[in-house]
A and B are shown apart, each in its own frame.
Chain A
Amino acid sequence: MAGSAAAKASVDTAATAGFTRPSAIVQVGRFAALWLRELARPRLLIGVALLALALLTLIGLGARAQPGDLAATRQGALDLAGPALGLLALALGARALRGDADAGALDGWLLRPHGALALPLGRALAVGIFAAGFAAALIAGVVLIDTWLGRSLALSRLPLQALGFGLGGLAYAAVGLGCASFGRGYVVLALGWWLAVDTGLSQAAEGLESLALRPAVAFIAGYDPEISLFDLDGEARRLWSAVVRLLVTAALGLAAACLRLRRDAPI
């Protein structure tokens, strides 16, 4: 039951509000934290856990079939985890923008200071972190499989695997956000990009591989840690090139989303 109007109908003044304009970094961090909490919903976590379990089962079966061939197992794991990670981050990245846009809640966020720029950045970051967490779970699973088969653990590979999957997740999420900012046809756009650029084009011709994210993620994650990271005449050059490729793609996807949000067209 409503109380008296006089008692409740009070609106305070600017002097009592007590807010300060947060820095852009703080805004990005807050948007990322909020979206990470959204991603931590039980239904999504269960779905992702089932996907990881299915992938690990396949990897485990492959490893058991060839217990001595570590390289083949690792390649098989990358071949399975790469597309799964890419599609997951792409879908979640698109959802991070379209969810609120379709519900009509995006305006509320965009009315907040720095909203137009901080929101896509923060949400892509959150999806990137989530995707990296998914990849980390897969890596942990592969380590368990290695242990189960009594093989030596290559823990020195972990940092580069984390880097590859983390950057990859961010880049795919940013592409998803960019696609989502182009309207309701985003599913076609994102899947079209994934099929044409990330899957088809990269295998169609030599040189076009640089447009695709999957080979870049696979190269970083599969990089041999025995090779110096700073020997720029050799493999390290390709490693850094792959890192830059992922960062540039992430920047392009985010730039598209930011520009579309600032362009005032309904998305």
Chain B
Amino acid sequence: MNAEAAMPGGGGAGQDAVAGEIVRFRRVTRRFGARMALLDASCSLGAGVVGLVGPNGAGKTTWLRLAAGLIQPTTGEVRWRGDLPRRHPDLDNRIALCADRDALPPDASAWQLLRDHLRIAGLSAAAAGERAEASLHRLGLQDRMERPLGQLSRGQRQRVKLALTFALPADLYLLDEPQNALDPVWRLEVAALVRAARDAGALVVVSSHILEEVEAIADRLVVLYRSRIVAMGPKDAVRLQLGRAGVALRVEASDVRALGRALIGHPAVLRLEVSEGALRVAGDDLSAIQRGLAAAVLTSGVRVSAVETEGDDLTSVFRALGQEVR
């Protein structure tokens, strides 16, 4: 699959920097010894919220670490804000990473941790202290900022990590599973924080295995599978790719076999399966399948109790795209 072609407005390999571009991967391959972590990835991302999805081992963390400038490509190049190389002074504190690991020192307090990072980032002691407090307040930790981090719950520690990530304004926020261990209220708050960063002109890349959450937050998607970018672009464009990969209806009815017989030979139906008492009707065109199903219900006279669409959410997008490259 040509991933560049699936990225409307995105710069591809060999193209010059695109205006407003925050990070660009140009034919990036990264190996760790014999292990291939990312293969020939090209993309150009500007301000917005990008969902980075893929199963474990697909290359998401490698992609994030490359985008953070923590590692370099084996071949290809990564550039920021036009054509800046990593560690360029103009990128100081402009990239923020919220790692997936629960890597907080147990003895330090949240305020101490944030203040230390902000001091190293170049703030004065007073400014660092104030900013640390404000950031922790924003994440609802004002009552717990003096407690040792080891005494906080997992959800509270996750909020400390997010407070650290958002403590300084950045151009590029890289969030690896940011909503881990958060309760529903704080998931909404974090989504609002992500949108606020986007509205301030930043690019926020959200990597998550909770695909529904990514779908709710992201404007665009980058789908990784087996070290490759298999799809990217606006959510709707990725869904169109799903259309090519196939959709299906799962139908529960009084007589699924009779309903299936009525659908045999319909031009929109490519596959029929009966499993666990339900009929699965697969094809390329969802509306054509729905019309065919309506006609089949009328002709067969069966009573339909439930119809579910498969392939309309991100889980199905990923599953279908993964099957395509398998």
Chain A interface residues (CB < 8 Å from chain B): 1-3, 5-6, 8-14, 16-22, 27, 30-31, 34, 38, 41, 100, 103-105, 107-113, 115-116, 264-266
Whether the pair A111, B32 counts as a contact (CB closer than 8 A) is no
Chain B contacts of A3 at CB under 8 A? 140
In the bound complex, what is the Cα–Cα distance between A143 and B210 (angstroms)? 64
Of B70, B118, B127, B186, the residue contacting A107 (CB under 8 A) is B70
Given A9-B189, A108-B97, check contact A30 B103 (CB 8 Å): no
Given A9-B189, A11-B169, check contact A103 B103 (CB 8 Å): yes
Residue from A11, A19, A34, A266 having most chain B Cβ neighbours under 10 A: A11
> Can you show 5 pairs from A to B with CB atoms below 8 A apart?
A3-B140, A9-B195, A11-B166, A14-B169, A17-B169
Q: How far is the CB of B303 from chain A (nearest CB, A)?
A: 44
Interface digits, B189-223 against A, CB 8 Å rule (1 contact, 0 not)? 10111011101111000000000000000000000
Determine if B188 is an interface residue (Cβ-Cβ < 8 Å).
yes
The 6 tightest CB contacts between A and B, nearest first, are A5-B192, A104-B101, A104-B103, A9-B192, A19-B122, A105-B103
Determine if B105 is an interface residue (Cβ-Cβ < 8 Å).
yes
Task: Name which of B50-58, B88-96, B292-300 contacts chain A.
Answer: B88-96
Whether the pair B192, A8 counts as a contact (CB closer than 8 A) is yes
Whether the pair B117, A107 counts as a contact (CB closer than 8 A) is no
Chain A contacts of B119 at CB under 8 A? 30, 34
Of B89, B97, B169, B191, the residue contacting A111 (CB under 8 A) is B97
Of A6, A20, A107, the residue contacting B192 (CB under 8 A) is A6
Determine if B313 is an interface residue (Cβ-Cβ < 8 Å).
no
Chain B contacts of A14 at CB under 8 A? 94, 169
Chain A contacts of B99 at CB under 8 A? 104, 107-108
Interface digits, B116-127 against A, CB 8 Å rule (1 contact, 0 not)? 111111111001
Number of chain B residues whose Cβ lies closer than 8 Å to a Cβ of chain A: 53
Chain B contacts of A22 at CB under 8 A? 120, 122
Q: How far is the CB of B156 from chain A (nearest CB, A)?
A: 12
In the bound complex, what is the Cα–Cα distance between A9 and B193 (angstroms)? 4
Whether the pair B72, A264 counts as a contact (CB closer than 8 A) is yes
In the bound complex, what is the Cα–Cα distance between A20 and B119 (angstroms)? 10
Whether the pair B107, A41 counts as a contact (CB closer than 8 A) is yes
Whether the pair A11, B193 counts as a contact (CB closer than 8 A) is yes
Of A1, A18, A41, A264, the residue contacting B185 (CB under 8 A) is A1
Chain A contacts of B117 at CB under 8 A? 108-109, 112
Whether the pair B169, A12 counts as a contact (CB closer than 8 A) is yes
In the bound complex, what is the Cα–Cα distance between A261 and B43 (angstroms)? 27
Q: How far is the CB of B204 from chain A (nearest CB, A)?
A: 10
In the bound complex, what is the Cα–Cα distance between A19 and B89 (angstroms)? 12
Whether the pair A18, B123 counts as a contact (CB closer than 8 A) is yes
Determine if B248 is an interface residue (Cβ-Cβ < 8 Å).
no
Determine if B39 is an interface residue (Cβ-Cβ < 8 Å).
no
Interface residues of B in 65-107 (CB under 8 A from A): 65, 68-72, 87, 89, 92-97, 99, 101-105, 107
Determine if B144 is an interface residue (Cβ-Cβ < 8 Å).
no
Interface digits, B155-197 against A, CB 8 Å rule (1 contact, 0 not)? 0000000001010110000000000000001101101110111
Q: How far is the CB of A259 from chain B (nearest CB, A)?
A: 14
Chain B contacts of A27 at CB under 8 A? 120
Of A19, A103, A110, the residue contacting B121 (CB under 8 A) is A19
Whose C-beta in chain A lies nearest to the C-beta of B104? A105
Whose C-beta in chain A lies nearest to the C-beta of B193? A9
Residue from A1, A108, A111 having most chain B Cβ neighbours under 10 A: A111
Whether the pair B122, A111 counts as a contact (CB closer than 8 A) is no
Whether the pair B95, A111 counts as a contact (CB closer than 8 A) is yes
Q: How far is the CB of A72 from chain B (nearest CB, A)?
A: 43
Whose C-beta in chain A lies nearest to the C-beta of B195? A9
Given A109-B120, A111-B68, check contact A17 B107 (CB 8 Å): no
In the bound complex, what is the Cα–Cα distance between A264 and B97 (angstroms)? 16
Determine if B138 is an interface residue (Cβ-Cβ < 8 Å).
yes
Chain B contacts of A2 at CB under 8 A? 140, 185-186, 188-189
Whether the pair B121, A5 counts as a contact (CB closer than 8 A) is no
Whether the pair B120, A10 counts as a contact (CB closer than 8 A) is no
Whose C-beta in chain B lies nearest to the C-beta of A14? B169
